[in-house]
Structures are given as C-alpha cells and as structure tokens.
C-alpha cells in the first residue's frame, strides 16, 4: 500500500495535499485558542473541524493543479528530444493570453501587473534556456523543478498562515472584502506590514522552514521523477485529480460553514483562501437575487411612510421616489460646518460608556459641552462604509461601499446640498486620497479634495504608511479654513483622521503612552490629543463662533463577536460642539450613521430637496427611530429593541440584542418589522440600480 501511494509518479501531489491539510488544521487550532470568550460548544468544536477539512480539501484541489499537469505531461521522450521547449512555449503563450484577457481584473494594482509580467518573463526565459541545453540536463531539471516548486508552495502556505494569524488578530475573522482591498492597495498594505511587524525575521524563518520541509520530503519528490507510469494510467489519475476542483467549484458552497449560531465557530470552519475567493467574486451582491424581497410598490410605500414627517413633504406622487421638500419654520442659518470623522473610534473607548483606561480625556470633557449622542450606530466596519453613510445618507447595500464602486459621481450628497446653498465643500485626508477611491468619489461629487500631498515635507512632524500624524492633518485643515474665511463664503469641510490605525505610531512626547508600545490605546489617546489641540487653536480664529464642529467615528475598532452582527461592534459616539450656538445636552435617541447629514442640515434650518434615507434625529419621534448595521453580506435593521438580519440566500432572522454585551437571543419573527427592514434595503438597491440618487 505504501508503495502504491507514495512510491509513484504522483507521490508529490499527495505530499502537497497532506502538508496543506496539516497546516490548515494547525491554523484552525491556533486561531481557536488565540481567541477568548468564543463560547464554542463541544458540538460546534466538532463541527468546525469536520466542515473545515472539507474546505481545506477543496482548496488543496486547486493548489495541486500545476503539479498534476506537470507530472501528467512529462515523459522520457519529450525530455530526450527538443519537443519539450516547444510544448512549454505553447503553454507559456496560452498562459500569457489567459492572464491578460480573462484572469486579471481591470482594477488590479500596477504592482500586481508588474509581478505577473515578471513571472511570465521568468517562465519564458527558463523554456528558452532548456531549448539549448543537453537532454541529460533536462532530465535532471525535472527533479529540480519539483524541488523548487515544493519550496515555493510551502513558503506561500506558511506565509498564508502568518497572514491569517495577523488578519484574525486585527479583525477576528477569516479573509473577507478587507483582504481583497488590501490586495489592491499593495503600497499602503505592504508598508503597514513592514512598519507593524518584524517582516525580515518572519520571512527568513518561513524560507528556512520551507527549505527544511523540502529536504525532509526529498525521497518522495524523487519518486515523482524516477517511478515509471504509463501515459494511460497517468491520464486516468490526472483526470480524477483535475476533476476535483471542478466538483468543488460546482458543489461546495460558502454557506456550509454557517452551521451554527456562533459566528466564531462559523468563521473557524471556513478556509482563509476559500473565503478570499468568495469575497473577490462577490464584490457587489444583487439584492434582488440574494435577499428576500417585497413587491417594489409595497417596499416604497413602507419607506415613504417611515420618511413622512411634519417638516417633510414629498415633491410628487411618484410611488418610486423618496424625494421630499424639507423645511423649517425658523430662518436658515448659514453657519460653517467642520465634520471630523475619526478613524476607528469605538464608543467603548470613552469614560461615558464605561471605559476606565482614560484614553479619551479631552473628548470625555468635551462631551459635557456638546450635543452628545450616546445611542448612535455605524453602518459598517470600514472607513469607506462610514464615508458613504456620512456623505450619502443611504443604508449600506450588500457588497462593496458606494465609495469603491464605479459610476459613483454626481450623487445626491451632503456636499451637494451645501453647494446648492453657496457653500465651499472640501474633503481633507491625512493620507494619499487615491486610497480607498476617496479622490475619485469625493472629487466626482463636487468636493475639493486635499490630502497629504498639500503639506510641505518640512511641515510634517511624523508620518507612517497611512499618512501624516493627525496634528499635521489638523494644521493643514486650519490653514484651509483660514483661506475659506478669507473668501467670505460659508464652508463645509470634512476631515478624515488616520492615526488610529495599525501600526499605531505617532510623534513622541505628546501623550503619556510612548509610541514605542504601538498600542491601540496610545493611538486613540494621541488622536484625542490632536483634536484637543485643533479645537484650542480653532478657538482663536475669527470663524470659530460661526462654526459647528461635528466629531463622529467612521466605524468601531472591532466588530467581532459570537453573533452575526454584535451591536456593540457598531456603537460609536458623536459630539456636536458649538459653544456660542448650541446648548449642551445628551441625546439618547436611537440614531443611525445615515442620520448625521440630515441632522446637521436640520440644525442649520436649511430648506432643501432631500433624497436622503436618513432623518433629522432631533426632529424625529421615538417611534420612527431606527438604525442600520452591516457586514458585506449581513444587513441589520434595529428598531424597538429588536434586530432583523438579512443575509444570502434569502435568509431573515430576528433577535433581541443585548446592547451591553453584544450578544443576541433569537426571537419570534415580527412580519411588520421584517418588511420594514426589507423595504429600506430594497428601495436603496432599486434607486441605485436605476440611477435615481443623482443630484
């Protein structure tokens, strides 16, 4: 039996499969024991490993494809003759054609294209060299190719383990759309990795380990070269092996891993590479295909009922329109607005929400002098989702944020309303604005985009791969706001911070947590320091008394939990500060991130035509208050102490969430509440698909 399995032409394939299964199992075990408080039961423990091995085998079937082809097509004749180089050149040409016509998406980064071109050139060079070398060398080359291939594959598999480990530490989940984004923005991501981890040591250990494993497997690799096997038998075995990925593609769905009500167990049951492929192919999900729907007329009727208010009048009787005239009895106030969206500012960081770490001392003190929103929930888990909610005031749609999608220019936005009132509208970012498509999105929607390239190198106190330190960002903002004042026009300026992001580095000597700790707590406290410094300097400006400052998070620092959508992973603070304009008070009304834009406009008493799904929360009765939270596939709707979650494929569940722990208890389906949830997301998808959300 041993000879049949391990002493034959395809022994190399079994080694690759076995190695991958061992590494994947060790990864699953490591991630499991690295996470505390998972609440995984014995049954879930058994299930996650049983289901996990299915996904591991599925990915292994794809990993072995090039080696199966190599071992199947090689024979003594073509290696003794000069047929081999011509065969190889043919396959290289075919590979080149496929890569540039079918495989590589148009939005891949230039770095990836460069890598692909380098690989093709490398392969062609090998084949051309083989054409001129003796047949005896070509025979030895077969073993050399397998040794080299085994080292490369083993290194990549080990690298994937390390990558999954760090990704899990950051997001407590397998690869998802975030990992896909990271693949596109290679400059920032690779720079972030280099600044956050001892990358040279890690890579050195991985290379040495890969070489050691190859040396240990050398006998099995030699058998793949030396053992004879007829072409007919090779064809039969290769066909069976190559049929495996086809069966996987057709018959192994992503939903299998969702076997329990514990999201930690579900994620561990998955496979990182498999989840990456799923995220890559589902960058945008069709709501009508993957989610439960209502008749469009009924969905719009429900949404129009929810958006009806004393200060809102629908402009016409079009049943597929939410456009309405917003008016207030008081006169308009053309005040300046500075909106600061803070990177990863969880509500739990503040003392007001129970923190005892004292990492937001200034925001804690400012809360008693502001409109302090204590029951606000972010739309998603990424900056682009927060920017979408704050600027477009629409519920999160499945798949990627609108900020990252094509054809997202000239949309109805907070900026477009301000511009219609004669405001200067700007977006200021501490990094390079091409990241996350910010330049294209904000520039295409009428904002003047200002980023780190506007700062002279001599004026930068500190920077990392993500951008300049927040204090340098705010210095740039102050200069910009001074210029706005000199132009004698009201302004709306949106500022996006960057410092609260791994590697969590910042200038020394600012706070009592040294930057060498590279801790989240230090980064949060530094951003708090920078906001304090900014507002103190702003207080000396002539435009300060006529400006409203809005400080709100883009999303939480973490959204991990044992349930699909833990509400605590979306709970964010908002402070609206204007000491000469607003009376401080605490606002405990249930607020969605999409309510921020109409609430700001309501404070100014601006009259405008609105296509926002958000509401002026300060003028919305309690019975109409609701919030939206989401992942890329899970769509949550919070109302009256209940949480409805929609997910593919056409699944709807209802829970009673615990707002303190984030846990949730399944509850009886309330058809009325479920229909409201479906209606909001369905109408949003309908309007976007039919391009009805333009200015």
* Between 319 and 171, residue with greater pLDDT: 319
Task: Indicate whether 196 pLDDT > 90.
Answer: no
pLDDT at 217: 81
Pairing state between β 371-377 and 591-592:
parallel
The span from the CA of 443 to the CA of 447, in Å, is: 5
pLDDT single digits (tens) 481-530: 999 999 999 999 999 999 887 788 889 999 999 989 989 999 999 999 99
Task: Indicate whether 244 pLDDT > 80.
Answer: yes
pLDDT single digits (tens) 48-80: 999 999 999 999 998 888 888 877 766 554 444
pLDDT at 503: 85
Query: Where do the H-state alpha helices sit in 252-360?
Result: 263-269, 272-281, 287-290, 296-307
- Kindly list the domain boundaries of the chain, sorted by start residue: 2-80+146-281, 289-689
Nearest CA among 268, 279, 276, 271 for reference residue 59: 271
Where does the pLDDT of residue 540 fall: very low under 50, low under 70, confident under 90, or very high at 90 and above? very high
pLDDT at 228: 67
pLDDT at 3: 46
Q: Determine the angle formed by the axes of helices 186-196 and 110-132, rounding to 10 degrees.
A: 90
pLDDT at 102: 46
393 contacts 592 by C-beta, under 8 angstroms: no
Signed CA dihedral, 167, 171, 173, 176: sign only: negative
Which distant-in-sequence residues (6+ apart) come within 8 Å of 170 by Cβ? 502
pLDDT at 561: 65
Mean pLDDT computed over 269-274: 89
Task: Indicate whether 232 pLDDT > 50.
Answer: yes
The span from the CA of 177 to the CA of 381, in Å, is: 11
pLDDT single digits (tens) 629-678: 998 888 999 999 999 999 887 889 999 999 888 888 999 999 999 999 99
Task: Indicate whether 130 pLDDT > 60.
Answer: no
* Dihedral pair phi/psi, residue 484, rounded to 5°: -60, -45
Task: Indicate whether 281 pLDDT > 70.
Answer: no
pLDDT single digits (tens) 431-473: 888 888 899 999 999 899 999 999 988 888 888 777 899 999 9
pLDDT at 29: 92
Signed CA dihedral, 184, 412, 498, 177: sign only: negative
Task: Indicate whether 203 pLDDT > 70.
Answer: yes
The CATH homologous superfamily to which domain 289-689 belongs is Alkaline Phosphatase, subunit A (3.40.720.10)
Report how far Cα 610 is from the mean position of its chain's Cα atoms: 29
Task: Indicate whether 105 pLDDT > 50.
Answer: no
The span from the CA of 431 to the CA of 464, in Å, is: 9
Burial 31-60 (b: 16+ CB within 10 A, else e): bbeebeebebeeebeebbbebbbebbbbbb
Categorise residue 354: left if φ over 0, alpha if ψ from -120 to 50, beta otherwise: left
Task: Indicate whether 104 pLDDT > 50.
Answer: no
Task: Indicate whether 131 pLDDT > 70.
Answer: no
Where does the pLDDT of residue 107 fall: very low under 50, low under 70, confident under 90, or very high at 90 and above? very low
Q: From the CB of residue 419, how many other CB atoms can be counted at a distance below 10 Å?
A: 17
343 contacts 498 by C-beta, under 8 angstroms: yes
Task: Indicate whether 555 pLDDT > 60.
Answer: yes
pLDDT at 395: 97
Q: Is the peptide bond before 649 cis (omega within 30 degrees of 0)?
A: yes
Mean pLDDT computed over 364-371: 97
The span from the CA of 371 to the CA of 578, in Å, is: 9
pLDDT at 106: 43
- The DSSP code sequence of 350-409 is SGGGT--S---HHHHHHHTTSEEEEEEE-S-SSHHHHHHHHHH--PPPSBS-GGGSSS--
pLDDT at 471: 95
**What token pair was written down for 166?**
């760090």
CA-based end-to-end distance of the chain: 72
* Between 591 and 226, residue with greater pLDDT: 591
* Mean pLDDT score of the chain: 86
Mean pLDDT computed over 573-600: 97
The span from the CA of 669 to the CA of 292, in Å, is: 14
Which distant-in-sequence residues (6+ apart) come within 8 Å of 29 by Cβ? none
Task: Indicate whether 607 pLDDT > 60.
Answer: yes
The span from the CA of 308 to the CA of 181, in Å, is: 38
476 contacts 338 by C-beta, under 8 angstroms: no
Mean pLDDT computed over 594-617: 97
Where does the pLDDT of residue 108 fall: very low under 50, low under 70, confident under 90, or very high at 90 and above? very low
pLDDT at 237: 84
The span from the CA of 464 to the CA of 515, in Å, is: 12
Helix (H, G, I), strand (E, B), or coil: what is residue 255?
A: helix
Where does the pLDDT of residue 135 fall: very low under 50, low under 70, confident under 90, or very high at 90 and above? low
Pairing state between β 424-429 and 491-496:
parallel
The span from the CA of 614 to the CA of 147, in Å, is: 60
pLDDT at 220: 75
3-state helix, strand, coil in the chain (%, to 5): 55, 15, 30
Pairing state between β 448-450 and 424-429:
parallel
- The DSSP code sequence of 607-630 is -EEE--S---GGGS-GGG--EEEE
Mean pLDDT computed over 522-540: 96
* Between 339 and 100, residue with greater pLDDT: 339
The span from the CA of 617 to the CA of 600, in Å, is: 9
- As a whole-number percent, the residues of the chain with pLDDT over 70 amount to 84
pLDDT at 109: 47
The span from the CA of 600 to the CA of 203, in Å, is: 50
The pTM for the full model equals 0.76
Task: Indicate whether 256 pLDDT > 60.
Answer: yes
**What token pair was written down for 33?**
């024991």
527 contacts 472 by C-beta, under 8 angstroms: no
pLDDT at 447: 95
CA angle 336, 340, 346 (to 5 degrees): 145
**What token pair was written down for 430?**
């501490």
Nearest CA among 237, 267, 244 for reference residue 254: 267
The span from the CA of 477 to the CA of 452, in Å, is: 11
pLDDT at 457: 87
The span from the CA of 525 to the CA of 355, in Å, is: 13
Half-sphere exposure of 162 (CA within 13 A, CB side): 18
């Amino acid at each position: 039996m041993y000879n049949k399995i391990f002493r034959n032409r395809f022994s190399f394939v079994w080694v690759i499969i076995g190695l991958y299964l061992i590494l994947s199992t060790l990864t699953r075990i490591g991630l499991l024991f690295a996470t505390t408080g998972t609440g995984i039961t014995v049954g879930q423990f058994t299930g996650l490993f049983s289901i996990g091995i299915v996904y591991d085998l599925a990915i292994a079937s794809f990993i072995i494809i090039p080696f199966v082809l190599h071992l199947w097509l090689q024979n003594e004749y073509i290696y003794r003759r000069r047929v081999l180089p011509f065969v190889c050149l043919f396959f290289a040409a075919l590979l080149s054609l496929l890569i540039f016509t079918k495989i590589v998406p148009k939005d891949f980064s230039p770095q990836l294209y460069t890598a692909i071109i380098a690989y093709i050139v490398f392969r062609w060079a090998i084949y051309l060299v083989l054409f001129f070398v003796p047949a005896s060398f070509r025979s030895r080359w077969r073993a050399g190719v397998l040794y080299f291939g085994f080292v490369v594959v083993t290194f990549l598999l080990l690298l994937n383990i390390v990558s999954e480990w760090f990704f899990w530490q950051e997001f407590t989940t397998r690869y998802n759309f975030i990992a896909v984004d990271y693949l596109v923005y290679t400059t920032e991501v690779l720079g972030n990795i280099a600044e956050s981890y001892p990358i040279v040591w890690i890579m050195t250990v991985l290379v040495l380990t890969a070489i050691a494993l190859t040396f240990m497997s050398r006998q099995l690799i030699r058998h793949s070269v030396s053992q004879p096997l007829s072409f007919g038998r090779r064809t039969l075995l290769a066909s069976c092996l190559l049929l495996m990925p086809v069966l996987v593609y057709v018959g192994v769905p992503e939903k299998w891993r969702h076997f329990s009500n514990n999201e930690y167990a579900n994620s561990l049951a998955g496979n990182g590479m498999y989840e990456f492929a799923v995220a890559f192919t589902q960058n945008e999900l069709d709501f009508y295909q993957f989610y439960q729907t209502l008749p469009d007329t009924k969905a719009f009727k429900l949404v129009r009922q929810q958006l009806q208010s004393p200060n809102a009048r629908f402009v016409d009787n079009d049943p597929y329109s939410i456009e309405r005239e917003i008016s207030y009895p008081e006169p308009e106030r053309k005040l300046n607005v500075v909106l600061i969206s803070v990177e990863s500012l969880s509500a739990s960081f503040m003392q007001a929400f129970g923190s005892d770490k004292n990492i937001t001392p200034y925001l804690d003190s400012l809360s008693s002098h502001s409109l302090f929103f204590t029951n606000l929930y972010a739309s998603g888990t990424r900056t682009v989702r927060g920017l979408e909610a704050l600027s477009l005031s629409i519920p999160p749609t499945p798949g990627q944020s609108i900020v990252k999608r094509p054809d997202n220019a000239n949309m109805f936005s907070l900026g477009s309303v301000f511009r219609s009132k004669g405001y200067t509208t700007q977006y200021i970012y501490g990094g390079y604005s091409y990241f996350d498509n910010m330049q294209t999105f904000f520039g295409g929607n009428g904002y003047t985009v200002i980023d780190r390239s506007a700062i002279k190198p001599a004026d930068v106190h500190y920077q990392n791969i993500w951008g300049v330190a927040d204090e340098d960002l705010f210095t740039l903002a102050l200069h910009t706001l001074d210029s706005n004042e000199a132009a004698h026009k009201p302004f709306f300026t949106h500022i996006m911070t960057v410092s609260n992001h791994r590697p969590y580095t910042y200038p020394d000597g600012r706070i009592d947590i040294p930057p060498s700790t590279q801790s989240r707590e230090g980064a949060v406290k530094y951003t708090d320091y920078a906001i304090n410094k900014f507002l103190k300097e702003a207080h000396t400006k002539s435009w300060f008394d006529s400006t409203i400052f809005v400080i709100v998070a883009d999303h939480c620092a973490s959204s991990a939990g044992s349930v699909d959508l833990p509400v605590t992973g979306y709970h964010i603070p908002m402070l609206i500060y204007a000491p000469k304009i607003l009376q401080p008070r605490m606002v405990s009304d249930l607020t969605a991130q999409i309510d921020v834009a109409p609430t700001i406009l309501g404070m100014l008493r601006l009259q405008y035509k609105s296509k926002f799904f958000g509401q002026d929360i300060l003028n919305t009765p309690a019975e109409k208050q609701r919030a939206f939270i989401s992942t890329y596939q899970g769509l949550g709707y919070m109302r009256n102490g209940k949480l409805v979650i929609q997910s593919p494929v056409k699944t709807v569940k209802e829970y009673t969430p615990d707002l303190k722990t984030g846990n949730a208890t399944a509850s009886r389906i309330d058809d009325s509440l479920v229909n409201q949830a479906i209606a909001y997301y369905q109408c949003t998808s309908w309007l976007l698909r039919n391009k009805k959300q333009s200015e």
